[in-house]
Amino acid sequence: MSKIRLGLIGSGGMARHHINVLQGVSEAELVAITEPSQDQRSATVGRFPHLQSAPFFDDYREMLEKVELDGVIIVTPHTLHFEQAMAALDKGLHVMIEKPMVCTVEHAQILVKRIRETGKVGLIAYQRHYIPVYRYVYEGIRKGEIGEPHFVQAINLQNWMRATTNTWRQDPELSGGGQINDTGSHLVDFLMWIIDAPAIKVSAYMQYFDRKVDINSALAFEYANGTIGNLSIIGSTTVGWHEEITAVGSEASYLIRHDQLEICDAHGNRYKQEQLPPGSQPVINFVNAILGHEDVQSKPENALRITAFTEAAWQSAAEGGVPKPIAQLQE
């Protein structure tokens, strides 16, 4: 069987991560790249010399017209995702999109519907669906290991404001929003994924520090099954990276600290969980889903929930923390 032919739209840092993973996937090959920046082109070819012969394009539309492809990987500023993904689907291509999928509920609904209509693979690259520790928590809650889920909590501290100054990530025309729509979106994804019920209401406070996008966010929310939670995304800190996640159930609790999982059982005993499910990568899942070997693990439907949650959080913060309903959308 011939290899899956993939085109890359954008070749920045995350794109190069996907290229690196693809080197170990014998069933697929990267055959074309869209990247208008000469600096990014040079950095990509410098790290991956085998791509010197691959055609580079300034405009993704020209790549879609001129190159025979089976799918595309979209790794561009957030507000560009919708147009690029729709164009690829219109060409009959499978699509893998870096997070966030899109930046508005309207676009999310249209895109999810279009993926279904075409029957093509759609995958949103939320990494935690593929990391063993997080996969274990998702599966464990579904199996009832902690009993009835009562409460979830996550906090992330990152030197995001300083690290992204003078980049597109703080330009709302390109980013669509601040840290909650960037690295914070991974935590929103995880909390929306692990509980088997949609979030229905959120109250949010945000700090901007005279920037055009949100830097710090403090959120409280409720799920349809009665589980409650809170989320803190802190981008003004000097801490390079610190993260904690907790899931409390009626029989036990999960404690994740720096990607290490500890379980506290019904008797208060705490132990590290060493037996974890296998891990993978979004791009490996993408190729295998195109081949029909695997189901998509990070689905557009879950990304639709993330977009609805984020949009409601922005609305709440704009009104001083007034609780806002989260749109309940057809998935």
Specify the pLDDT at position 258. Answer: 86
Domain-located, residue 162 = yes
Domain-located, residue 261 = yes
pLDDT band at 1 (very low <50, low <70, confident <90, very high): low
CATH label of the domain that carries residue 311: 3.30.360.10
pLDDT band at 327 (very low <50, low <70, confident <90, very high): confident
Give the Cα separation of 48 and 33 in Å (integer): 13
Report the chain's mean pLDDT, rounded to a whole number.
96
* Average of per-residue pLDDT across 143-169: 97
pLDDT band at 308 (very low <50, low <70, confident <90, very high): very high
Count of domains in the chain?
A: 2
Question: What digits encode the pLDDT tens for the residues 108-139?
Answer: 999 999 999 999 999 999 999 999 999 999 99
Residues 234 and 255 in one domain: yes
Question: What digits encode the pLDDT tens for the residues 39-71?
Answer: 999 999 999 999 999 999 999 999 999 999 999
pLDDT band at 331 (very low <50, low <70, confident <90, very high): low
Residues 96 and 171 in one domain: no
Domain that holds residue 134: 128-277+303-325
